[in-house]
Structure 1
């Protein structure tokens, strides 16, 4: 099991009264205003329990159905390595885990500095880097390689990822069929669907379409995930003033209602199916018309949304370590550092988008490596202050006395390794005239690419996966 630092600092955006008001408004939205829900299988289950769909296609779900789903959904999530070793465990505490992308639309090449289309070969590089870094706990396989047939991008990216990455894999698919294909591929690696269900090393990611719309692609992905008992994230990405109200409480309420509808569907399909609450309420920048990934409001609202998930006792899927900047500059570092710090203080559990740049168009291995360093520093901040007798160390203070020093004390020798010592940030007595960090990061990436070996899958498993490559035309 990975050694995880729990949060020891109290921090909140919402108080109990605010959480309750957002919850009640969300229930009213679901029950009175309703949602546009598509997908015959999901609607049939909803209607059987008492939901009604009007002639305009708007479905209204009674409060009791939502309340029952909140009761039956698991309050903890366990994810494993592809070899069945426990790795991520969210059990209602303050555990936090971070993940990056195995692929994206564009790739910020760490050696040449070129920003180009993401290619199939880059997935192996991203996987090796994420596999090596101790603070990157999972990877996202999203199906975006430019040199792969779009009809099988999701499947091919997953195959490349599972071959080159041993930690948990978060995946999304470009279509409904791809989801079942990936579950079947993962079952091969796990030694069967039953083994995969007992020790899942994959979890699915899907989204509704704000405002208040759940297309068939979303409901079917929820349905298939729940039927197979594969953990699923349901995460609306809304832009205030564009696809959600331009008010914090309004955006949180709308997103919360959309997530709860996804939760209801999974529990109606398979009571007790694992579900992860995700929310991305950002701003719609009126000057540029982009949904910002670096806006302070975005990350404050993510922290607030994590408190809504905590209210329901459901694991939360957050966002941090990303930037609107296209290159690693002052903006990128400022945004990424602020986000990771905010997320560390929040109640988020499983946090994605580390190293994502340019409004989620590209991924940068260099930014992933730097973020690993930021995360490590924040883990030390997050330890907080203990006040045991040993920590107060009154006997040591008395022994050293007035005007003395602690350098030769046993207490110092026993505790100096509890301090964070950075790998890249400089604390030299005499600093050079220019930054050394960029070259250090590049050298680290070269080292990982050349030296780090991800354990090879069993030959029999690789033969079975090769059949999937052929089935996909590769």
Structure 2
């Protein structure tokens, strides 16, 4: 077991950048962390291998064509700052990440998140985003590295740090402990495992890629001791995420964790209850990035309708966590103490000044019962489905890779298939450290 000197860890914490740019293909899509309003940024779920059809809600495997659907959808979700690629079928398994990124980057002008599946694939992923215009000054992608819990690292993830450093791509240092499985069952033990692994990644980054933005990403799970199922929306997982975010923020790190998601397989009432609890908890903890938009069944299914509902819920949460003004003007005491019997504030200067500052829902409903019944009892879910359909059918943004860049991306995808997938072998460098 390698032990990192306390002085080196403290040096790394002092040196790691306290801000990061997750650039879009245009400045209007840029994400600066931390946000000026100290609020959060959302991202879509990653790693899902299942997909719920927008029209039928039938479940099927995620197809490579669904990556473009997710991109088109997320292009129009105002609260979603960047997009992750899922695991897609319909392409060689060993290069699914390369094909997913190739599809994603050609269908969105937002920042994207890279998640390599093999050490051999990292170079291809970096070259694809560079072909699409990523530079050190304006990285249009960031990359995840993960610990191999408990307290180990795969060669692939150390290579992520090295190559991300060369390309100037910010890194999300991700720990994914499962309490009772790869971490102690207690909430405190789960948190300690994640924090220790993330501190190790920050220290490795300081040595291997000094000056590279590293975002602490505790993605906490808890095993259901009755079934062995990993859960991320249970009370214990919520407590672990909140505590880990608070500890890592206290160390001066940018933070990223699940802010949406549920353990149910459908976009149902339970799903909304779980993700509302999760989102509120981590938003109040001060996380910079809330991930998991659209994900169901513990991050294994993507649902476009749920993604629209999550976007709405994020807008609600953003309004909720924004501190209200507390001032003499806000109290409006002078007007209040002079109000006559039976008076009101409808024509108040303050009411007129603030009436357009309230949260206004997009798909959440505020209908009266009579109108609700007359509409055929069409509610937020139906409104979200209709919005999902419209966003998926919308025109793509103008600032996408040009013909030359697309040809280079296609060439890289084909070369990856020839060099990695066709041989059905990888280097074997699966050692952990």
Helix, strand or coil at the partner of 1:243: coil
CA, structure 1 residues 86+126, in 2 after alignment: closer, same or farther (shift >3 Å)? closer
Task: Indicate the residue corresponding to 2:103 in structure 1.
Answer: 160
1:309-358 CA distances to partner (integer Å, 9 max, x unpaired)? Answer: 21221111111211111111221111011111112211211121112111
* TM-aligned CA deviation for residue 101 of structure 1: 3.4
2:18 to 65, 72, 75: 75
1:377 to 288, 295, 316: 316
Number of aligned residue pairs? 412
Where does the alignment leave 5 or more consecutive residues of structure 2 unmatched? 419-433
Task: Indicate the residue corresponding to 1:266 in structure 2.
Answer: 205
* TM-aligned CA deviation for residue 372 of structure 1: 0.9
Task: Indicate the residue corresponding to 1:450 in structure 2.
Answer: 393
* TM-aligned CA deviation for residue 373 of structure 1: 1.0
CA, structure 1 residues 435+297, in 2 after alignment: closer, same or farther (shift >3 Å)? farther
User: Is 1:125 matched with 2:44?
Assistant: no
User: Is 1:113 matched with 2:57?
Assistant: yes
User: Is 1:63 matched with 2:2?
Assistant: no
Distance in 2 of aligned mates of 1:118 and 1:149: 13
Task: Indicate the residue corresponding to 2:276 in structure 1.
Answer: 337
1:463 to 387, 407, 410: 407
Query: Which segment drifts farther, 80-89 or 66-75?
Result: 80-89
1:262-304 CA distances to partner (integer Å, 9 max, x unpaired)? Answer: 1111111122121111112321111110110211221221111
* TM-aligned CA deviation for residue 92 of structure 1: 8.2
* TM-aligned CA deviation for residue 473 of structure 1: 5.0
1:433-472 CA distances to partner (integer Å, 9 max, x unpaired)? Answer: 4342232122111111223432243333223323224334
User: Is 1:146 matched with 2:89?
Assistant: yes
Helix, strand or coil at the partner of 2:369: coil
Contact 1:235-1:277 within 8 A present in 2 as well: yes
Indicate the structure whose relative CO is greater, using CA pairs within 8 Å and at least 6 residues apart: 2
Task: Indicate the residue corresponding to 2:428 in structure 1.
Answer: none
Helix, strand or coil at the partner of 1:156: helix
Task: Indicate the residue corresponding to 1:441 in structure 2.
Answer: 384
Distance in 2 of aligned mates of 1:427 and 1:360: 30
Task: Indicate the residue corresponding to 1:4 in structure 2.
Answer: none
1:125-154 CA distances to partner (integer Å, 9 max, x unpaired)? Answer: 111111101011111124x11111112211
Query: Which segment drifts farther, 88-97 or 304-313?
Result: 88-97
Task: Indicate the residue corresponding to 1:209 in structure 2.
Answer: 148
The equivalences for 1:29-68 within 5 A come to 58-68=1-11
Contact 1:103-1:118 within 8 A present in 2 as well: no
Contact 1:211-1:243 within 8 A present in 2 as well: yes
Distance in 2 of aligned mates of 1:84 and 1:188: 18
TM-score (norm 1): 0.82
TM-score (norm 2): 0.90
Distance in 2 of aligned mates of 1:446 and 1:168: 23
2:369 to 424, 427, 430: 430
CA, structure 1 residues 84+179, in 2 after alignment: closer, same or farther (shift >3 Å)? farther
Distance in 2 of aligned mates of 1:86 and 1:373: 19
User: Is 1:362 matched with 2:301?
Assistant: yes
Distance in 1 of aligned mates of 2:139 and 2:332: 45
Where does the alignment leave 5 or more consecutive residues of structure 1 unmatched? 1-57
User: Is 1:279 matched with 2:279?
Assistant: no
Distance in 2 of aligned mates of 1:145 and 1:429: 43
Contact 1:106-1:361 within 8 A present in 2 as well: yes
Task: Indicate the residue corresponding to 2:172 in structure 1.
Answer: 233
Distance in 2 of aligned mates of 1:229 and 1:457: 19
Distance in 2 of aligned mates of 1:115 and 1:467: 32
1:101 to 31, 37, 45: 45
Root-mean-square deviation over aligned CA pairs: 2.0
1:84-116 CA distances to partner (integer Å, 9 max, x unpaired)? Answer: 556211148733101103762000111111100
